[in-house]
C-alpha cells in the first residue's frame, strides 16, 4: 500500500491531507471547550447547532461553490480554501458569543466543502493506474481512522502544557502547512478538451444528475444511507451505552470507539487484495448486507442490556459489534471513489465528487437526528431499531440499483443535448 507514496505528487498531496486532518481534529476538541466556556451547561446545544451548520454548508454550499470554481486551476483553489480555513481558525480564540461560533463555523466548513471534493477529484488524474488508485483509497481510509485516534490523544497531550485556545494555533498551522505543500506540488495539467458548459444552475446540479442517470451511483447514494446509520449510532450514543446503560468506566468509551476504528482500518488494509479478487460490487454489497444484521444485533441486545451491565464479561458484546460496524462501513467507504472515477471524465469529475460529498452528508442529516433526538425521547432500543430499518432500506435500494448482472461493465458515456455536458465516464474492461 505504501508503495503509492513513491509518486512525489501524490506523496505531497497526501501529506497535505494528513496535516489538515490533524489540524481539524485539534479544532474539534478546542471548539467543544470554547463552547463550554461560552455556554456552560448549554454547550451541547451550541455544538449541536454548529454541527448542523457544518452539514448545511456541506449539503447546500458545496455544489454551488464547486460550480463556481470547477473551471479554475485546482492549485489556487486548494491553497485559497486552506488559507480561508486558517483565517477562520485564527478568529476562534477571540470569540466571545455563541453566534460568532456559528458564523466562523459556516465560513470554515464552506472552505472545507471547497477543498475536500476538489482534492478528491484531483487524485485520479495523479494516479492513473487503477491498482495505485485503489491503494491510495485504502491509505486515505486508514488516514481518516488513524486521525480519529491520534487527534484526541495529541490534543490531550498539548492540554497538559498549554490552554485550549492554543490548540486553535495548531489548527492554523495545520492548514498553512497544507497550503504550503500544495503550493510546492506540480499538479497534472488538465486535458485540452473543453470543459462543461451551461448556466450556473446546470453546473451546480450536474453531479446530482449524473448520479441519477448512473445505476451504480444511485446504488452508492443508497449505500451512503447504510453507512450513515451505524456512524450516527456510534458517534452519538457510544457514551450513553458505555456510561449509562452498561455502567462502565470512562476509559471503556475509548476502547469501544477504538474497536470501531480498528475494524475499519483492518478492512482498509485488506481492501486492495479484496477488490482485485472479488470486484467492487461484491465487496461493497457484503458490507451493505452485514451492517443491518449487526444493527439488528445491537437492537436486540440493547433491550436486554441492563442484564449485561456491570463488571462481568457480558458487556463485551458492545466492542465486538462496534468492530463489525467499523468493518462494514469500510467495505463501502474505501472503494466508493472507484465508482465515482468510472462514472466521470476529467471535466465532470469535480461535479461528481462534489455530489457525493454533498449527498452523503445529506444522509447524515437524516441519521444524526434519529440517533440523537429519538434516542433521547424514546430510548436506545427504539433508536437502534429505527437505524436498523434505515440501513435495511438503504441496502435494499442499493441491491436494486446495482444488480449482479451489471457487475461487468461501467455505464456508457452520454452527452446532454444542447449543453455539451458529459454525464458518465469511461468504459473499462475491469471486473466490478
Give domain limits for the chain.
Answer: 1-190, 193-407+422-432
Phi, psi of 337 (to 5 degrees): -70, -20
Domain 193-407+422-432, CATH class in plain words: mainly alpha
Q: What is the pLDDT of residue 191?
A: 57
Query: In Å, what is the CA distance from 16 to each residue of 22, 180, 376?
Result: 10, 8, 39
Query: Which of these, 356, 344, 335, lies nearest to 431 by C-alpha position?
Result: 335
**pLDDT in tens for each of the 432 residues of the chain?**
677 888 899 999 999 999 998 888 888 778 878 888 888 767 767 876 787 788 888 888 888 888 888 778 889 999 999 999 999 999 988 998 989 999 999 999 999 988 988 888 888 888 888 888 888 888 888 888 777 777 777 777 788 787 888 888 989 999 999 999 999 998 887 654 445 556 777 888 888 899 989 999 999 999 999 999 999 998 888 888 887 888 877 678 778 888 898 899 999 999 999 999 999 999 999 999 999 999 999 999 888 776 666 555 668 889 999 999 999 999 999 999 999 988 888 788 888 988 998 999 999 988 888 888 888 888 889 999 999 999 999 999 999 999 877 654 444 344 343 344 444 444 333 434
Instruction: State the Cα–Cα distance between residues 48 and 38, nearest whole angstrom.
Output: 14
What is the model's pTM? 0.80
Q: What is the pLDDT of residue 428?
A: 39
Instruction: State the Cα–Cα distance between residues 357 and 232, nearest whole angstrom.
Output: 17
Any idea how long the chain is?
432
Say if residue 334 is exposed, middle or buried (CB neighbours under 10 Å; 0-12, 13-18, 19+): buried
Q: What is the pLDDT of residue 421?
A: 45
- Specify the pairing of strand 415-416 against strand 421-422: antiparallel
Q: Are both 1-190 and 193-407+422-432 of the same fold?
A: yes
Q: What is the pLDDT of residue 430?
A: 40
Instruction: State the Cα–Cα distance between residues 409 and 401, nearest whole angstrom.
Output: 14
Instruction: State the Cα–Cα distance between residues 397 and 220, nearest whole angstrom.
Output: 10
Torsion of CA 227, 379, 52, 393, to 10 degrees: 30
Contact 215, 411 (CB under 8 A): yes
Q: What is the pLDDT of residue 267?
A: 93
Query: Which of these, 229, 203, 222, 183, lies nearest to 329 by C-alpha position?
Result: 229
Q: What is the pLDDT of residue 235?
A: 83
Output the CATH code of domain 1-190. 1.20.1250.20
Amino acid at each position: 500500500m505504501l508503495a503509492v507514496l513513491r509518486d512525489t505528487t501524490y506523496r505531497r498531496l497526501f501529506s497535505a491531507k494528513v496535516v489538515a486532518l490533524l489540524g481539524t481534529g485539534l479544532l474539534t476538541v478546542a471548539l467543544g471547550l470554547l463552547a463550554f466556556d461560552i455556554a456552560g451547561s448549554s454547550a451541547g446545544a451550541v455544538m449541536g447547532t454548529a454541527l448542523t451548520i457544518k452539514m448545511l454548508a456541506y449539503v447546500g454550499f458545496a455544489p454551488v461553490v464547486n460550480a463556481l470554481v470547477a473551471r479554475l486551476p485546482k492549485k489556487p483553489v486548494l491553497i485559497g480554501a486552506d488559507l480561508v480555513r486558517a483565517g477562520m481558525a485564527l478568529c476562534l480564540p477571540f470569540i466571545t458569543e455563541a453566534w460568532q461560533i456559528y458564523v466562523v463555523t459556516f465560513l470554515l466548513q464552506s472552505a472545507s466543502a471547497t477543498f475536500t471534493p476538489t482534492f478528491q477529484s484531483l487524485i485520479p488524474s495523479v494516479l492513473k493506474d487503477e491498482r495505485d488508485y485503489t491503494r491510495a483509497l485504502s491509505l486515505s481510509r486508514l488516514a481518516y481512522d488513524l486521525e480519529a485516534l491520534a487527534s484526541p490523544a495529541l490534543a490531550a497531550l498539548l492540554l497538559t502544557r498549554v490552554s485550549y485556545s492554543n490548540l486553535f494555533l495548531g489548527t492554523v498551522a495545520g492548514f498553512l502547512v497544507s497550503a504550503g505543500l500544495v503550493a510546492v506540488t506540480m499538479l497534472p495539467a488538465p486535458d485540452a478538451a473543453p470543459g462543461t458548459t451551461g448556466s450556473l444552475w446546470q453546473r451546480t446540479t450536474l453531479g446530482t444528475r449524473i448520479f441519477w442517470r448512473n445505476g451504480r451511483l444511485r446504488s452508492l447514494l443508497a449505500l451512503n444511507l447504510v453507512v450513515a446509520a451505524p456512524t450516527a449510532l456510534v458517534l452519538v450514543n457510544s457514551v450513553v451505552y458505555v456510561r449509562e446503560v452498561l455502567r462502565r468506566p470512562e476509559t471503556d468509551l475509548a476502547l469501544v470507539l477504538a474497536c470501531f476504528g480498528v475494524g475499519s482500518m483492518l478492512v482498509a488494509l485488506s481492501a486492495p487484495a479484496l477488490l482485485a479478487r472479488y470486484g467492487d460490487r461484491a465487496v461493497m454489497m457484503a458490507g451493505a448486507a452485514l451492517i443491518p444484521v449487526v444493527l439488528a444485533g445491537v437492537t436486540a441486545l440493547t433491550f436486554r442490556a441492563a442484564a449485561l451491565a456491570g463488571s462481568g464479561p457480558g458487556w463485551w458484546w458492545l466492542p465486538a459489534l462496534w468492530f463489525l460496524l467499523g468493518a462494514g462501513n469500510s467495505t463501502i467507504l474505501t472503494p466508493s471513489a472507484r465508482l465515482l472515477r468510472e462514472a466521470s471524465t476529467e471535466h465532470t469529475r469535480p461535479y461528481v465528487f462534489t455530489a457525493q460529498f454533498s449527498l452523503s452528508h445529506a444522509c447524515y442529516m437524516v441519521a444524526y437526528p434519529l440517533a440523537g433526538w429519538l434516542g433521547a425521547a424514546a430510548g436506545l432500543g427504539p433508536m437502534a431499531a429505527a437505524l436498523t430499518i434505515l440501513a435495511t432500506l438503504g441496502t435494499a435500494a442499493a441491491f436494486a440499483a446495482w444488480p449482479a448482472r451489471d457487475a461487468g461493465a461501467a455505464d456508457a458515456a452520454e452527452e446532454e443535448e444542447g449543453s455539451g455536458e458529459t454525464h458518465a465516464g469511461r468504459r473499462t474492461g475491469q471486473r466490478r
